[in-house]
Amino acid sequence: MEPGAFGQRIGEIAAFVHTFGGIAERLPGGAALRFKAQDGLRTALDTLAEKERSCCATLEFAVMEQAETISFCISGSAGNRTAIDDLLTRLETARSQPN
């Protein structure tokens, strides 16, 4: 993916996290975006996962429901951790920016 396209995708994911009130968390094998369960969220996350799978085949994307939360999980091999860390860093930066 080209740098400009990557930045655009990060912006889309950051807007998604902001819209649905998500929290990004680092995990030993990757990352998770966690959300309080809401109407339409599961469908939106499934769509996001499919979109990400089509562009980032080296990463794994899964949507998981637990109790009252829905998580968008991202994992990959050790070689892909840099991309996952970059995503989380950019999401943290976007979250700290004023709207």
> Cβ-count burial of 75 within 10 angstroms (0-12 exposed, 13-18 middle, 19+ buried)?
middle
Rg, C-alpha atoms of the chain: 13
Q: Which helix (H) or strand (E) holds 20?
A: helix 3-20
Predicted pLDDT of residue 42: 93
d(CA 96, CA 75): 24
Q: What is the pTM of this model?
A: 0.82
Predicted pLDDT of residue 94: 63
Domain definitions of the chain by residue range: 3-96
Does residue 1 register a pLDDT over 80? Answer: no
Predicted pLDDT of residue 71: 95
* Contact between residue 22 and residue 16 where contact means Cβ atoms under 8 Å apart: yes
The answer regarding whether domain 3-96 maps to CATH 1.20.1530.20 reads no
- Give the pLDDT band (50/70/90) at residue 16: confident
Predicted pLDDT of residue 99: 54
pLDDT tens-digit profile of 27-79? 888 999 999 999 989 999 999 899 888 887 888 999 999 989 999 999 988 88
